[in-house]
Amino acid sequence: MARIAVIGGTGYAGSNIVAEAVRRGHTVVSVARKVADERVEGATYIEGSLLDVPSLVTELEGVDVVVCTVPARGDMLGNVRNNVAELVSELPATVRIGIIGGAGGSLVAPGGGRLIDQPSFTEEYKPEALEAIGILEDLQADDKGHDWFYIHPAGGFGVWAPGERTGRYRDGGEVLVTDEKGDSYISGPDLGVAVIDEIETPKHSRARFTVGY
């Protein structure tokens, strides 16, 4: 079993990852700026922030995998990319890094353009999406160091459409996963399944992948 830390562990993506990791018997540390009132039994909750990387690194001592789920929105817009880069540089090289990005960096077809560059992409989401893409670019530019994986959830992923745990999903490689109707969706619990699957049985070393139904 792994010792997994989830930064943003009380948020939508983070809480589902924490729940799935605990469900499978891993040692789980949920890190957030404020400890949630509702907690997953079996997880340890601590206060910490990407805005204070030195303190965060101290709190993460001894973990095997760090999964960052913090979105670049609100007061975190403009603060996530640089602080993730600092965190990665400060963590021991043995720690595997997982990043939950957005759908914006997904390709719309093999060898095709990115979702964010399509006319249909909502303008107000672009700053958040671009910062998430920047994190991916930083990881890709570092040809040595930590092992990492980066997940693009489906386009319809979010707290507004929570869904249930089915235990299934499709891996689209770099291409946005859509169903036969062209819809792109994955529930919060099944994103958690995909993340813990990757931690338990790594298939994407220093690579990104998309998930959806």
Q: Write the pLDDT tens digit of every residue in 160-178.
A: 989 999 999 999 999 999 9
| Domain around 206 | 3-212
User: Which of 28, 13, 78 is CA-nearest to residue 51?
Assistant: 78
For 145-157, the pLDDT digits (tens) are 899 999 999 999 9
Structure confidence at residue 145 (pLDDT): 86
Mean pLDDT of 121-126: 96
Domain holding 82: CATH number? 3.40.50.720
CA dist., res. 164 & res. 144, Å (int): 38
What is the domain count for the chain? Answer: 1
Q: ∠ at Cα 154 (213, 71), nearest 5°?
A: 145
Q: Tell me, what's the pLDDT at 143?
A: 82
State pTM to two decimals. Answer: 0.96
Average pLDDT of span 86-109: 97
pLDDT for the residue 35: 83
The residues, any chain, with a CB within 8 Å of residue 97's CB and separated by 6 or more, are 65, 66, 67, 68, 88, 91, 139, 146, 147, 148, 149
Task: Kindly state the helix (H) or strand (E) to which residue 148 belongs, with its residue range.
Answer: strand 148-152
Between 126-141 and 80-90, two packed helices, what is the crossing angle to 10 degrees?
30
